Structure 1
Amino acid sequence: MDVEIAEERIFVLTERFSLDHAEGRAWARRADAFGTVARLGGLLNRSASEDYECVYRERRLQPFWHLHATAVAGYERTRTYTVAVSPSVRSVRISGEDVAAEAGQFRLSGLESCRDETSRQYLFDGLSRAENPALASYLSYPGTVTDAEALAEAARGGIVVVPPENKASMLVREVMSAAIGKIDADRVLEERVTVDLVDLVYRPVFAFRYRHAGKEAVIEFDGLTGDIRPDGATFEQYLGKILEPRFLLDVGVEAVNIFVPGTQLVRILAEQGVKQATQRREG
């Protein structure tokens, strides 16, 4: 089996809204974060509805993984086919040979030449590791290629850069396991798995924690879609935490061989243009 794995990349999706815009939208929904009682109280007592304080503002980059894999298998197998004919048929001449027929059928053997090809996209939440196809909606937004050093600098500047809880190497193995299917073959001619995308994607999120009547609650604002979540959360514990290169893919031939004995590992570039653009930026 041959395995091809793309160079890992980090993308930061470009936020569509500013922090001020997000805060204004969140402030208008502040009562929602405290539930039905707070909303009703605001309707009955306008002064009470203004008894809110924003005690924390957060601008963060939240991760998810985007992988894509293609599996190709070429193989041969011998099969016997049963062909129905009229009950009166006693033999059928095929390619100059008579094949006996009995009880309205005759049997033929042949060598099947087969090729299977499957392709699938995988999206994993960077915090829970759960596969989440709904994250595909973010892939239509523009973004830029970056690296761990640039993210660390962003964290030092006050942006909460949340490191992924799952390593790319673990996800690549999971994707490969799903891509490798059982082959019903007499002889395998070709077997290849290509993981042609290994992208760590960061999407912008704003979070605001409000205090009201001795309680605190958080509203999240999606920096791409503009959606508001009144049951949000903050990631203050990640403030200033640096994304280390160990979170990226680092799969050697030995590691892959442990997973698939006899594997030949090839590293490929998903897009040569992306690498060139990165080099220009660094230059």
Structure 2
Amino acid sequence: MQVELAEERIYRVADRFSLEHAEGRAWAKRVEAFGALARVAGLFNQPKDDDFAVVYRERRLQPFWRVAVSTATAYERRRSYAVPVAPEVRQVAVDGRTLVAVNGAISFDGLESCREEARREVFVDGLSKQATPALAAYLQHDAVETDAQTLAKATAEGMVVVPPQAKASMVVRDVVAAAIGKIDADTVTEELVRVEAIDLYYRPIHAFRYRRADKEAVVEFDAVTGEARVGGDTFEQYLGKALEPRFLLDVGAETLNFVVPGANLAKLIIVKGMEMKGMR
């Protein structure tokens, strides 16, 4: 089996909305953030702005993975074919051979040459580790390729860069395992797995934590889609911490060895760093 691995890449999706715009949208949801009782109470006793205080503002980059895998398998297998004939037929001459009809059919053996191709593109939330097809929508927006060193500079400027809980090797392993299907073959003449993209995307999120009396609540604002939602979270534990650059560089032969039945490293031909132009 030949496995072609694209280089791991990091992209940062560009902000479409400013922090000031985000804070205004989040402020409009401050009452809703404290739950249904607060909303009902607000119908009878409109809360004052002074009742709320912004105790924390967060600009963060939140991760998700895009992994694209294509497979091609060529193989051969011998099969017997039964061809129905009319009841009165006793035998049929085919290419110099005489085939005797039995139970209303003639039969012969043949060698089938087969080829199967498939492609999967999966988007995985970097925190929940769940496949999330809706994340594909972020690829419609501007994004720039970046690296761990550039992201480290962003952390020094107050940006929270959240490391993915889902590692590249785990995501690739799962996608490849799902892409490799079972085949019914006598002889395999070609096995190719192309991991076309191993891309880590960071999307910008603004989060605001409000305090009202003795309670706190968070409103998140997506700086790409413009969506504001309550019940989010903040990630102060990563504030000021630089991204570990090695977390992306963990996809190799060992990763694929786990998903190829009966394979060992000697049976895998790994081509690392192939260029997949126009894949983004």
TM-score by length of 1: 0.91
Partner of 2:95: 95
Letter in 2 for 1:167: K
Letter in 2 for 1:145: E
Shift of residue 173, structure 1, vs aligned partner: 2.0
Letter in 2 for 1:32: E
Shift of residue 46, structure 1, vs aligned partner: 2.1
Shift of residue 48, structure 1, vs aligned partner: 4.6
SS of equivalent residue, structure 2 residue 17: coil
| Among 254, 261, 270, the residue aligned to 1:265 | 270
2:70–2:118 CA contact under 8 A, matched in 1: yes
Shift of residue 170, structure 1, vs aligned partner: 2.2
Shift of residue 253, structure 1, vs aligned partner: 4.3
1:86-143 alpha-carbon deviations (Å, 9 max, x no partner): 1111112211222111221111211000000010001111112122112111111110
Letter in 2 for 1:78: R
Mapped to 1, the partners of 2:66 and 2:74 lie a distance apart of 27
Q: Which one is further off, 11-20 or 120-129?
A: 120-129
Mapped to 2, the partners of 1:256 and 1:86 lie a distance apart of 53
Residue 140 of structure 1 pairs with residue 145 of structure 2: no
1:51–1:213 CA contact under 8 A, matched in 2: yes
Taking structure 1 as reference, are residues 29 and 258 closer, same or farther at Cα in structure 2, changes over 3 Å only? Answer: closer
Partner of 1:155: 155
Residue 2 of structure 1 pairs with residue 25 of structure 2: no
Mapped to 2, the partners of 1:125 and 1:273 lie a distance apart of 23
Mapped to 2, the partners of 1:33 and 1:58 lie a distance apart of 16
Alignment of 1:1-283 (within 5 A): 1-48=1-48, 51-253=51-253, 256-257=256-257, 260-261=263-264, 262-271=267-276
SS of equivalent residue, structure 2 residue 27: helix
1:37-64 alpha-carbon deviations (Å, 9 max, x no partner): 1112222112456511111111100000
Q: Which one is further off, 89-98 or 203-212?
A: 89-98
2:70–2:195 CA contact under 8 A, matched in 1: yes
Mapped to 1, the partners of 2:98 and 2:80 lie a distance apart of 16
1:136-166 alpha-carbon deviations (Å, 9 max, x no partner): 1111111000000000110111001001112
Shift of residue 30, structure 1, vs aligned partner: 0.8
Letter in 2 for 1:266: V
Shift of residue 249, structure 1, vs aligned partner: 2.6
Shift of residue 273, structure 1, vs aligned partner: 8.2
Partner of 1:281: none
Letter in 2 for 1:60: R
Shift of residue 228, structure 1, vs aligned partner: 1.4
Shift of residue 246, structure 1, vs aligned partner: 1.7
Shift of residue 257, structure 1, vs aligned partner: 4.8
Residue segments in structure 1 that go unaligned for 5+ positions in a row: 275-283
SS of equivalent residue, structure 1 residue 46: coil
Shift of residue 172, structure 1, vs aligned partner: 1.9
Mapped to 2, the partners of 1:16 and 1:256 lie a distance apart of 38
Mapped to 2, the partners of 1:81 and 1:157 lie a distance apart of 71
CA RMSD of aligned residues (A): 1.8
Provide the identity percentage: 55
Shift of residue 240, structure 1, vs aligned partner: 1.3
2:169–2:255 CA contact under 8 A, matched in 1: no
Mapped to 2, the partners of 1:45 and 1:215 lie a distance apart of 18
Shift of residue 272, structure 1, vs aligned partner: 5.5
Letter in 1 for 2:273: I
Shift of residue 256, structure 1, vs aligned partner: 4.7
Letter in 1 for 2:233: A
TM-score by length of 2: 0.92
Mapped to 2, the partners of 1:218 and 1:270 lie a distance apart of 42
Q: Which one is further off, 238-247 or 20-29?
A: 238-247
Mapped to 1, the partners of 2:23 and 2:47 lie a distance apart of 21
Mapped to 2, the partners of 1:47 and 1:233 lie a distance apart of 24
Mapped to 1, the partners of 2:274 and 2:44 lie a distance apart of 61
Taking structure 1 as reference, are residues 40 and 114 closer, same or farther at Cα in structure 2, changes over 3 Å only? Answer: same
